[in-house]
Amino acid sequence: MVSFEYDQGDMSPRDVESGYVSASSSEESLPEVYLTKPHLKYLNRQLQHLEPEGTLYSLDGYIRLLNLDLANTSYEEILRWCTITLPNLYQTTAFGLTGLVTVDMLSKLRIQRPQLVNLIYLDTLHAFPETLALVDRVRERYPHLNVHVYRPAGVNTAEEFAKKFGNRLWETNDVQYDWAAKVEPAQRAYAELDVKAVLTGRRRSQGGKRCNLDIIEVDEAGLIKVNPLANWTFKQVQDYIKANDVPYNELLDRGYKSIGDWHSTQPTKEGEDERAGRWKNQKKSECGIHNSHSKFAQFLKEQELKKQEEALQHALNSGLKIES
């Protein structure tokens, strides 16, 4: 595990306690995600064993090191490392079992200055009633948590969604549905809350594209994604929920294992992957939030470029002066 040996000679007590740079530093001068001197000393010391002396490392190199180091680390230590090291840390959750385990673990985490990790919930307006009831029960069980709820832009009900985007959009254009219901609200949440890192509930045992999941990832936008329970099985998660009396979705008692929107979620059969009930008989396993590139985002970008090209061509054909 990343266990830092602190050299307190050039650090204030506040630095050592918090894991961040000192309060005397100018906030504007700091990078968005940063490490203290002890963190960097540790990383550089470990990197010396991986490559010849003098080698320069990219962000990918540091992430690779961290994943190697965290592979056999306890979930408590991973979460402790996250709360100490990563500023502007949130947990994104649909209140599945793994996310609920993380919520409970964080509530019991004992460190000197815990960073409160609030939740981001993307309400697609098409969740099961049981899921919405669970959100209320989680709020009651963990009153210190702030649950930030984000919905599709400009709408607050399923009826309003259908009026704006068309009936049964998930069938007529599932890519646009994913964008409107989850991807855009997620991007809006990250921007408004100034999110720099998130905890997710993804695990390798969920199958599909998650089989080779790393504990730490950095997406194309620079967002740090931590999957603290990546190594856990469904049984381990389920056992923790029962042992610690953590509130959970009642649908799990009816054969569901992974729960999303009501229109694209079914119970799983014996021997199927956990997420086999999601988008049954469709060639997809993710909603777009965790895809490296959203197809609809690429479509929007292509449309915008097409508009610019058409405007430029129109101006050229009209003999207008183009300012460079």
Residue listed under structure tokens 């830092």? 4
- 211 counts as catalytic: no
Query: Contacts from 6-12 at CB under 8 Å and sequence distance 24+?
Result: 6/38, 7/37, 7/38, 7/41, 10/37, 11/36, 11/37, 11/38
Among residues 202, 287, 289, 294, the one annotated as catalytic is: 287
The order of strands in the sheet holding 147-150 is 147-150, 119-122, 89-92, 197-199, 224-226, 216-218
Q: Pick the closest to residue 95 from 226, 190, 245, 201 (CA basis).
A: 201
Helix (H) or strand (E) holding 318: none
Cβ neighbours of residue 235 closer than 8 Å, sequence gap 6 or more? none
Of the candidates 185, 191, 271, 256, which has an alpha carbon nearest to the alpha carbon of residue 223?
191
- Catalytically active residues are 287
